[in-house]
Amino acid sequence: MKKTVRHLLLALLATFPTAQAAGPTAQALAFTCAGCHGTDGSSVGPSSPSIAGMDPDVFVDAMLDYKNERRSSTIMKRIALGYTDEQIREMGFFFYRQPLRVKPQQTDPEMVALGKSLHDSYCEKCHEEGGRPGDAGTLAGQWMPYLEHAMSDYLNDQRRWPRKMERKVKEVVKAEGERAIPALIQYYGSQN
Ligand code: HEC
Ligand code: HEC
């Protein structure tokens, strides 16, 4: 319920005149991102994540973390440094309004089934609806190679763990062993 209200508010905010006025600028700024993240944020993959439909708060946090080196990156630090915090916010709303278009990825049905059951027990609480775009980012339909990088960044302490996520990830690896993370990633990659 709380989340539904929040999403309604966000949708409303995105249509506000201030956001509209920012529209053309934000869109122009976002052209720079198209080469890697696809026009309108649906990436043709596989190592640049899709950012269409991304929660604006998660978007802003990600960009500021890249800027301030709180999150490791191959390329995004240099890019994020080129924008003011205000421009980053405007781009956040722009991408939030774009529909996420997912490309099919090849997955193994057995791993997908295992991943789904692990997700439901360990991850769904924060990554709702199988990991659809929300206030814990986007997992469903995200490129699998990107998710592999993201998971290894967390596990190697190259990226700050979201509060309470570390415990769940370590629990799932303990319970299911080495297959756990690949199975979860296959489950996310299987969704469209
Ligand atoms: C040259 C390719 C390239 C360009 C151009 C680029 N990105 Fe990225 N982006 C990446 C890659 C690769 C990653 C994964 C992190 C890394 O390795 O830098 C990423 C990650 C991100 C993420 C994190 C997504 C998540 O799910 O957490 C955001 C947000 C993002 N980029 C926004 C942008 C914006 C906004 C622009 C344009 C101003 C942009 N990027 C331009 C390649 C690019
Ligand atoms: C207590 C809440 C919580 C739990 C439980 C949780 N996560 Fe997360 N997760 C988050 C939040 C919040 C983010 C947002 C990104 C950030 O701040 O780094 C995130 C981000 C991620 C990302 C990075 C997405 C990106 O775009 O880069 C991956 C991958 C991920 N989680 C996987 C998992 C998996 C797999 C599980 C279950 C084993 C899990 N999470 C459990 C809260 C959680």
**For 114-163, what is each residue's pLDDT tens digit?**
999 999 999 999 999 999 999 999 999 999 999 999 999 999 999 999 98
Reading phi first (left if > 0) and then psi (alpha if -120 to 50, else beta), residue 19 is in alpha
Ligand 1 pocket test: pick from 25, 31, 32, 37 the residue with the most ligand atoms within 8 Å of its Cβ.
37
Q: What tokens does 191 get? A: 């969704």
Q: Domains of the chain (ranges plus CATH)?
A: 2-96 (1.10.760.10), 109-190 (1.10.760.10)
User: Count of residues for the chain?
Assistant: 192
The alpha carbon of 74 and the centre of ligand 1 are apart by a number of angstroms equal to 9
How far from each other are the two terminal CA atoms of the chain, in whole angstroms?
Answer: 25
- Give the pTM: 0.92
**For 54-113, what is each residue's pLDDT tens digit?**
999 999 999 999 999 999 999 999 999 999 999 999 999 999 999 999 999 999 999 999
The alpha carbon of 37 and the centre of ligand 1 are apart by a number of angstroms equal to 7
